[in-house]
Amino acid sequence: MSTMFPRTSPLDGERCWKEWFQSGSSLSKVSKKLADEGIVSPKTQKPYTIMSIKYWAWKWALMEENYDEAFDYVRQRFATEGRIFTEDEWRRSLVENAKWVFQYSPIKINEFIEKRGLQNYT
């Protein structure tokens, strides 16, 4: 298990990411789709919240082995809207969302930035 991502969940971050970007769905639509398939929070037996879906989706995307695939989904989604999503925008988005996923822990954020060769955008 990665020390950078110690939490686990029955929610599949890869699936959340793909549903979110591939289909162009909103996070609330992803939550509804998962719930319609019986994928709900085991603790509450209610649909996953949009923040939970966003968290696990970004957690998946932030893993180095998933960067290229996650970036491809985002670029393709923006392309359907006639917009080019650049590598620089992607890198900024990684750092911004790493701060959120790592709950603004300076140690984890700096480790992530250093390990991935990024910079701390302000």
pTM: 0.84
Question: HSE on the CB side for 54, CA within 13 Å?
Answer: 10
**Is 94:118 a contact under the CB 8 Å cutoff?**
yes
Which residue's entry shows tokens 């919240």? 49
Question: What is the structure's pLDDT at 8?
Answer: 58
- Computed on alpha carbons and rounded to an integer, the radius of gyration of the chain in Å comes to 15
What is the Cα–Cα distance from 39 to 30, expressed in whole angstroms?
A: 11
Phi, psi of 50 (to 5 degrees): -65, -30
pLDDT in tens, the chain (122 residues): 344 444 556 799 999 999 999 877 799 999 999 999 999 999 899 999 999 999 999 999 999 899 999 999 999 999 998 999 999 999 999 999 999 998 878 898 889 988 888 887 75
Q: How many residues does the chain have?
A: 122
What is the Cα–Cα distance from 56 to 14, expressed in whole angstroms?
A: 8
